[in-house]
Amino acid sequence: MALAAQSDRLQSRSGPFDFEDSPLSRAAKQPLMLGLFLNLQDINFSSVPTSNSWTFDYNAELVKRADELGFEIAFSRTQWLPKGGYDGASSLDSFITLGAMAAITKNILLISTIHVLYGPLHPLHLAKYGATLDHIAKGRWGINIVTGHRAVEHEMFGWQRIDHDKRYEMAAELFEVLHTLWTADENFSYEGKLNPWAISNGWITPKPHYGRPNLVTATGSPAGFDFAARYSDLVFVTSPGGAHIDSALETLPDHIATLKARAAFHGRQIKTIINPIVVARDTEKEALAFADAIEAGKPNPTTRAFATNNYDSDAHAWRGRGDARHKQGRNLGGNIEIIGTPEQVVEQFAALKKTGIDGVQLNFYDFREDLDYFAERILPLMKQAGLRL
């Protein structure tokens, strides 16, 4: 089966959004999807005490709680860094961790972050692992596609960093092959043009439930937007204006419109999600004071701690976030910062929805305590505001 022929049929390929009963289609019916952006790393972001833990048990309890609350999505970053990177003594792999949660959850989408070019991971392995997890999770599992942006990570796998746009070309070839393996009814052979692997009479069974697993891409570059528009279901976007909510609301509409127009050009629909850190308290004064305390307790800028690291990166998504034209946030750990009372948090969620955001992948300073507060004080208000069904 020729890959070129498969590529020509890209617009007609089926994916989870083409099935009304798929977990992804059900999730997207929410006016504003809710996700949990897990922290599987031992990151000491601030000296303010938290209950946080990188361990599986801690994060599994969070995801089970989010599942019970009706959250639609859970995923986490994964990084490959030398000793001491991001202040972390320990770090779980997102691929294994989110896959393992399939057996202990019922409805929530479980998205494993995978650096798809490192190694490289052979497409037969990835296709078989993905089909297996798809069946365990009954269509709820998926991949957060990462091509890698730090030189140090590529070097750990014995490579020099690959050019930014070429990485997306390589990933496109990989996902053309993966989709063929997930859907073909005959053996499939292919020799990589951009990737150093080949397949001879490859065959994967069982097939995924809804054409293929759910696919997510985090990106902000033109090349990344084009890749995401062609291959992904959910696109994890970054505020071009910075972490301050006002700057995000100003700059996101054009950013999201460009992305969705690109998807429409390819005859596809995508949904956008963003990662806010939510700092909420009963009064605005209390919320601001807690946010200030977190900021005051951050490590010295010379250390390699989260958001203060000095690892070389060519990622485009975070460029321009220091632009003096926009208000800058406190850099509390999220892509954008939502700080205030429960009512103010919901108002800011509603404003994000108006920019074109379809879901929020929530980050908390203290995940267990703040998720409980969110469930008790904020979630009912979201329903009252029409943001949740």
Q: Name the more confident of 84 and 386.
A: 386
- Paired sense of beta strands 188-191 and 141-146, if any: unpaired
- Does the pLDDT value for residue 329 go beyond 90? no
pLDDT at 162: 86
pLDDT band of 330, cuts 50, 70, 90: confident
pLDDT exceeds cutoff 80 at 270:
yes
CATH (one of 3.40.50.1360, 3.20.20.30, 3.40.50.300, 3.10.20.740) for 3-384: 3.20.20.30
Kindly list the domain boundaries of the chain, sorted by start residue. 3-384
pLDDT tens figures, 345-359: 999 999 999 999 999
Could you tell me which residue, 246 or 152, shows the higher pLDDT? 246
Please report how the helices 222-231 and 245-265 are oriented relative to each other, as an axis angle in degrees rounded to 10.
Answer: 60
Residue 41 Cα to chain centre, angstroms: 16
Q: What is the pLDDT of residue 80?
A: 84
Angstrom distance (rounded) from CA 260 to CA 238? 14
Q: What is the pLDDT of residue 313?
A: 64
Question: Is the four-CA dihedral 348, 289, 295, 321 of positive or negative sign?
Answer: positive
Whether the per-residue pLDDT at 5 is higher than 80: the answer is no
> Is pLDDT of 10 > 50?
no
What is the pLDDT of the chain when averaged over all its residues? 90
